[in-house]
Structure 1
Protein backbone atom coordinates (compact mmCIF):
# COMPACT_ATOMS: atom_id res chain seq x y z
CA UNK A 1 0.00 0.00 0.00
CA UNK A 2 2.84 2.39 0.84
CA UNK A 3 4.40 1.93 -2.61
CA UNK A 4 1.12 2.77 -4.30
CA UNK A 5 0.92 6.17 -2.57
CA UNK A 6 4.56 6.94 -3.41
CA UNK A 7 4.01 5.96 -7.02
CA UNK A 8 0.94 8.20 -7.25
CA UNK A 9 2.87 11.09 -5.72
CA UNK A 10 5.64 10.74 -8.34
CA UNK A 11 3.06 10.81 -11.14
CA UNK A 12 1.48 13.99 -9.75
CA UNK A 13 4.92 15.63 -9.56
CA UNK A 14 5.66 14.55 -13.16
CA UNK A 15 2.32 16.03 -14.33
CA UNK A 16 3.05 19.32 -12.54
CA UNK A 17 6.51 19.47 -14.10
CA UNK A 18 5.03 18.74 -17.53
CA UNK A 19 2.44 21.56 -17.11
CA UNK A 20 5.20 23.99 -16.06
CA UNK A 21 7.21 23.10 -19.15
CA UNK A 22 4.19 23.52 -21.43
CA UNK A 23 3.42 26.89 -19.86
CA UNK A 24 7.04 28.05 -20.31
CA UNK A 25 6.97 26.80 -23.92
CA UNK A 26 3.78 28.84 -24.66
CA UNK A 27 5.36 31.90 -23.01
CA UNK A 28 8.50 31.55 -25.14
CA UNK A 29 6.37 31.22 -28.30
CA UNK A 30 4.45 34.42 -27.47
CA UNK A 31 7.72 36.30 -26.98
CA UNK A 32 9.11 34.97 -30.26
CA UNK A 33 5.95 35.90 -32.18
CA UNK A 34 5.83 39.42 -30.71
CA UNK A 35 2.72 38.77 -28.66
CA UNK A 36 0.66 41.37 -26.88
CA UNK A 37 2.91 43.06 -24.42
CA UNK A 38 2.08 46.11 -22.35
CA UNK A 39 4.03 48.31 -24.77
CA UNK A 40 1.83 47.11 -27.64
CA UNK A 41 -1.30 48.17 -25.75
CA UNK A 42 -0.23 51.73 -24.89
CA UNK A 43 -1.67 54.55 -26.99
CA UNK A 44 -0.55 58.18 -27.14
CA UNK A 45 -2.30 61.42 -28.08
CA UNK A 46 -0.53 63.75 -30.50
CA UNK A 47 -0.67 67.58 -30.49
CA UNK A 48 -3.79 67.51 -32.68
CA UNK A 49 -5.68 65.21 -30.33
CA UNK A 50 -5.38 62.10 -32.51
CA UNK A 51 -4.61 58.70 -30.98
CA UNK A 52 -1.28 57.29 -32.22
CA UNK A 53 0.91 54.32 -31.30
CA UNK A 54 4.22 56.21 -31.27
CA UNK A 55 5.38 58.11 -28.20
CA UNK A 56 5.73 61.88 -28.51
CA UNK A 57 9.09 63.44 -29.38
CA UNK A 58 10.22 64.99 -26.11
CA UNK A 59 13.18 66.75 -27.74
CA UNK A 60 10.85 68.96 -29.77
CA UNK A 61 10.65 72.56 -28.51
CA UNK A 62 7.25 73.37 -27.11
CA UNK A 63 5.43 76.58 -27.95
CA UNK A 64 5.24 79.02 -25.05
CA UNK A 65 1.74 80.30 -24.35
CA UNK A 66 1.06 83.50 -22.47
CA UNK A 67 -1.50 82.55 -19.83
CA UNK A 68 -2.86 86.10 -19.74
CA UNK A 69 -3.80 85.92 -23.44
CA UNK A 70 -6.33 83.13 -22.81
CA UNK A 71 -9.87 84.50 -22.62
CA UNK A 72 -12.31 82.59 -20.49
CA UNK A 73 -15.88 83.80 -20.95
CA UNK A 74 -19.25 82.77 -22.26
CA UNK A 75 -20.33 84.24 -25.57
CA UNK A 76 -22.63 87.21 -25.33
CA UNK A 77 -26.25 86.37 -25.90
CA UNK A 78 -27.58 87.95 -29.05
CA UNK A 79 -30.93 89.53 -28.37
CA UNK A 80 -33.40 88.27 -30.89
CA UNK A 81 -36.81 89.69 -31.58
CA UNK A 82 -39.08 87.30 -29.68
CA UNK A 83 -42.07 88.24 -31.84
CA UNK A 84 -43.13 85.54 -34.28
CA UNK A 85 -45.58 85.69 -37.17
CA UNK A 86 -48.32 83.24 -37.96
CA UNK A 87 -51.91 82.62 -38.97
CA UNK A 88 -54.78 81.50 -36.74
CA UNK A 89 -55.25 77.92 -37.94
CA UNK A 90 -58.20 77.08 -35.68
CA UNK A 91 -60.23 79.00 -33.15
CA UNK A 92 -63.28 77.92 -31.12
CA UNK A 93 -64.99 81.00 -29.69
CA UNK A 94 -67.34 78.91 -27.50
CA UNK A 95 -64.49 77.08 -25.75
CA UNK A 96 -62.07 80.03 -25.82
CA UNK A 97 -58.96 78.46 -27.34
CA UNK A 98 -57.29 77.96 -30.67
CA UNK A 99 -54.07 77.22 -32.54
CA UNK A 100 -51.69 79.47 -34.43
CA UNK A 101 -49.57 78.09 -37.26
CA UNK A 102 -46.08 79.63 -37.37
CA UNK A 103 -45.15 81.03 -40.81
CA UNK A 104 -41.44 80.15 -40.47
CA UNK A 105 -41.50 76.50 -39.48
CA UNK A 106 -45.15 75.43 -39.72
CA UNK A 107 -45.41 74.48 -36.03
CA UNK A 108 -48.78 74.92 -34.35
CA UNK A 109 -49.04 76.59 -30.96
CA UNK A 110 -51.97 76.53 -28.58
CA UNK A 111 -53.40 79.83 -27.34
CA UNK A 112 -56.12 80.82 -24.89
CA UNK A 113 -58.61 83.62 -25.51
CA UNK A 114 -57.15 85.54 -22.53
CA UNK A 115 -53.90 86.00 -24.52
CA UNK A 116 -55.61 87.04 -27.77
CA UNK A 117 -57.14 90.33 -28.94
CA UNK A 118 -60.90 90.73 -29.12
CA UNK A 119 -62.43 89.68 -32.43
CA UNK A 120 -59.81 87.07 -33.34
CA UNK A 121 -60.96 84.40 -35.79
CA UNK A 122 -59.62 81.65 -38.02
CA UNK A 123 -57.46 82.99 -40.87
CA UNK A 124 -56.26 86.16 -39.08
CA UNK A 125 -52.58 87.04 -39.54
CA UNK A 126 -51.06 87.60 -36.10
CA UNK A 127 -47.82 88.25 -34.28
CA UNK A 128 -47.14 86.43 -31.02
CA UNK A 129 -44.52 85.34 -28.52
CA UNK A 130 -43.92 81.89 -27.07
CA UNK A 131 -43.97 80.90 -23.43
CA UNK A 132 -43.59 77.53 -21.73
CA UNK A 133 -47.01 76.18 -20.75
CA UNK A 134 -47.92 73.19 -18.59
CA UNK A 135 -47.16 70.69 -21.35
CA UNK A 136 -45.68 72.56 -24.30
CA UNK A 137 -44.92 76.00 -25.71
CA UNK A 138 -48.00 78.27 -25.95
CA UNK A 139 -48.63 81.51 -27.82
CA UNK A 140 -48.97 84.65 -25.68
CA UNK A 141 -49.12 88.43 -26.33
CA UNK A 142 -51.04 87.83 -29.54
CA UNK A 143 -51.74 90.89 -31.73
CA UNK A 144 -53.11 91.36 -35.21
CA UNK A 145 -50.33 91.61 -37.82
CA UNK A 146 -50.24 94.95 -39.58
Structure 2
Protein backbone atom coordinates (compact mmCIF):
# COMPACT_ATOMS: atom_id res chain seq x y z
CA UNK A 1 0.00 0.00 0.00
CA UNK A 2 1.02 3.54 -0.67
CA UNK A 3 1.92 5.97 2.10
CA UNK A 4 -0.02 9.06 3.06
CA UNK A 5 0.02 11.87 0.47
CA UNK A 6 0.11 14.56 3.18
CA UNK A 7 3.54 15.99 3.76
CA UNK A 8 4.73 17.98 6.73
CA UNK A 9 4.36 21.26 4.77
CA UNK A 10 0.76 20.53 3.81
CA UNK A 11 -0.14 19.77 7.42
CA UNK A 12 1.43 23.04 8.60
CA UNK A 13 -0.39 25.11 5.94
CA UNK A 14 -3.69 23.50 6.91
CA UNK A 15 -3.04 24.28 10.61
CA UNK A 16 -2.27 27.92 9.76
CA UNK A 17 -5.42 28.23 7.66
CA UNK A 18 -7.60 26.82 10.46
CA UNK A 19 -5.92 29.12 13.02
CA UNK A 20 -6.61 32.17 10.80
CA UNK A 21 -10.28 31.19 10.50
CA UNK A 22 -10.54 30.77 14.26
CA UNK A 23 -8.85 34.16 14.92
CA UNK A 24 -11.20 35.82 12.45
CA UNK A 25 -14.26 34.36 14.22
CA UNK A 26 -12.91 35.50 17.62
CA UNK A 27 -12.36 39.08 16.35
CA UNK A 28 -15.87 39.20 14.86
CA UNK A 29 -17.38 37.99 18.14
CA UNK A 30 -15.31 40.57 20.07
CA UNK A 31 -16.46 43.41 17.79
CA UNK A 32 -20.06 42.32 18.18
CA UNK A 33 -19.74 42.21 21.97
CA UNK A 34 -18.07 45.66 22.16
CA UNK A 35 -20.35 47.46 19.70
CA UNK A 36 -22.59 50.22 21.02
CA UNK A 37 -25.57 48.75 19.26
CA UNK A 38 -28.83 50.63 19.57
CA UNK A 39 -29.96 49.93 16.06
CA UNK A 40 -30.89 52.52 13.46
CA UNK A 41 -31.12 55.53 15.80
CA UNK A 42 -27.37 55.49 16.50
CA UNK A 43 -26.57 55.38 12.79
CA UNK A 44 -28.66 58.42 11.75
CA UNK A 45 -26.99 61.75 11.08
CA UNK A 46 -28.85 65.03 10.60
CA UNK A 47 -27.81 68.23 8.83
CA UNK A 48 -28.47 71.54 10.59
CA UNK A 49 -29.37 74.88 8.93
CA UNK A 50 -25.66 75.72 8.50
CA UNK A 51 -24.89 72.48 6.63
CA UNK A 52 -23.03 70.81 9.54
CA UNK A 53 -23.61 67.21 10.59
CA UNK A 54 -25.24 66.63 13.96
CA UNK A 55 -26.74 63.71 15.85
CA UNK A 56 -29.73 65.68 17.17
CA UNK A 57 -32.84 65.86 15.00
CA UNK A 58 -33.99 69.31 13.81
CA UNK A 59 -36.56 71.26 15.80
CA UNK A 60 -39.96 70.99 14.04
CA UNK A 61 -40.92 74.52 15.17
CA UNK A 62 -38.00 75.96 13.13
CA UNK A 63 -39.21 74.34 9.92
CA UNK A 64 -39.54 76.73 6.96
CA UNK A 65 -42.54 76.37 4.67
CA UNK A 66 -41.66 76.52 0.94
CA UNK A 67 -44.27 77.34 -1.66
CA UNK A 68 -43.83 74.77 -4.42
CA UNK A 69 -45.17 77.13 -7.10
CA UNK A 70 -42.46 79.71 -6.37
CA UNK A 71 -39.73 77.27 -7.44
CA UNK A 72 -38.58 77.92 -11.01
CA UNK A 73 -37.38 74.97 -13.00
CA UNK A 74 -34.98 75.82 -15.80
CA UNK A 75 -33.06 78.93 -16.67
CA UNK A 76 -34.81 82.22 -15.95
CA UNK A 77 -35.41 84.45 -18.95
CA UNK A 78 -32.94 87.24 -19.53
CA UNK A 79 -34.06 90.75 -18.92
CA UNK A 80 -33.31 93.36 -21.54
CA UNK A 81 -29.72 94.49 -21.16
CA UNK A 82 -28.16 97.66 -22.44
CA UNK A 83 -26.53 97.20 -25.79
CA UNK A 84 -22.79 97.61 -25.32
CA UNK A 85 -20.79 98.87 -28.27
CA UNK A 86 -18.58 95.93 -29.31
CA UNK A 87 -16.04 98.24 -30.98
CA UNK A 88 -13.17 99.31 -28.70
CA UNK A 89 -10.45 101.85 -29.32
CA UNK A 90 -6.83 101.54 -28.36
CA UNK A 91 -3.20 102.01 -29.25
CA UNK A 92 -0.83 99.42 -30.75
CA UNK A 93 1.72 98.81 -27.98
CA UNK A 94 3.87 96.25 -29.80
CA UNK A 95 3.68 94.74 -33.27
CA UNK A 96 6.16 92.44 -35.02
CA UNK A 97 5.27 92.43 -38.71
CA UNK A 98 7.76 89.66 -39.51
CA UNK A 99 6.06 87.27 -37.06
CA UNK A 100 2.57 88.67 -37.60
CA UNK A 101 1.42 89.38 -34.06
CA UNK A 102 1.36 92.12 -31.45
CA UNK A 103 -0.53 93.69 -28.56
CA UNK A 104 -3.08 96.50 -28.31
CA UNK A 105 -3.77 98.51 -25.14
CA UNK A 106 -7.43 99.50 -24.69
CA UNK A 107 -7.96 103.24 -24.05
CA UNK A 108 -10.77 102.73 -21.53
CA UNK A 109 -9.54 100.03 -19.16
CA UNK A 110 -5.82 99.87 -20.12
CA UNK A 111 -6.13 96.10 -20.75
CA UNK A 112 -3.65 94.53 -23.12
CA UNK A 113 -5.06 92.32 -25.89
CA UNK A 114 -3.29 89.99 -28.31
CA UNK A 115 -3.68 90.67 -32.03
CA UNK A 116 -2.71 88.39 -34.93
CA UNK A 117 -2.13 89.48 -38.52
CA UNK A 118 -5.19 87.41 -39.55
CA UNK A 119 -7.34 89.67 -37.31
CA UNK A 120 -6.30 92.90 -39.01
CA UNK A 121 -8.03 94.47 -42.01
CA UNK A 122 -5.09 96.73 -42.89
CA UNK A 123 -1.39 97.04 -42.02
CA UNK A 124 -0.67 98.41 -38.56
CA UNK A 125 2.51 99.52 -36.80
CA UNK A 126 3.48 100.40 -33.23
CA UNK A 127 1.88 103.60 -31.97
CA UNK A 128 -1.14 103.51 -34.32
CA UNK A 129 -4.53 104.34 -32.87
CA UNK A 130 -6.93 101.57 -33.86
CA UNK A 131 -10.48 100.37 -33.41
CA UNK A 132 -11.06 96.65 -32.75
CA UNK A 133 -13.50 94.05 -31.50
CA UNK A 134 -12.82 91.32 -28.95
CA UNK A 135 -13.20 87.57 -29.42
CA UNK A 136 -12.47 84.71 -27.06
CA UNK A 137 -9.26 82.95 -28.04
CA UNK A 138 -7.33 79.99 -26.61
CA UNK A 139 -5.59 82.01 -23.91
CA UNK A 140 -8.05 84.87 -23.39
CA UNK A 141 -9.55 87.71 -25.37
CA UNK A 142 -8.04 88.54 -28.78
CA UNK A 143 -8.42 91.70 -30.81
CA UNK A 144 -10.05 91.08 -34.23
CA UNK A 145 -11.28 93.26 -37.08
CA UNK A 146 -8.53 95.80 -36.28
CA UNK A 147 -8.67 99.06 -38.31
CA UNK A 148 -6.61 102.24 -38.16
CA UNK A 149 -8.45 105.34 -37.01
* TM interval, short-chain normalised: 0.5 to 0.7
Cα RMSD, aligned residues only: 4.2
- Equivalent position SS for 2:61: coil
Q: Give the count of matched residue pairs.
A: 123
Distance 1:88 1:113, change over 3 A: farther
Report the Cα distance in structure 2 between the residues aligned to 1:105 and 1:114, rounded to whole angstroms: 20
TM-score (structure 1 length as normaliser):
0.52
Report the Cα distance in structure 2 between the residues aligned to 1:98 and 1:25, rounded to whole angstroms: 75
Distance 1:106 1:48, change over 3 A: same
TM-score (structure 2 length as normaliser):
0.52
Report the Cα distance in structure 2 between the residues aligned to 1:22 and 1:96, rounded to whole angstroms: 74
Distance 1:114 1:27, change over 3 A: closer
Which residue in 2 is equivalent to 1:139? 143
Tell me if the contact between 1:83 and 1:128 (Cα under 8 Å) persists in the aligned partners: yes
Kindly state the Cα deviation for residue 122 of structure 1 after the two structures are TM-superposed.
Answer: 0.5
Which residue in 1 is equivalent to 2:100? 97
Which residue in 2 is equivalent to 1:69? 70
Kindly state the Cα deviation for residue 102 of structure 1 after the two structures are TM-superposed.
Answer: 3.1
- Equivalent position SS for 1:68: helix
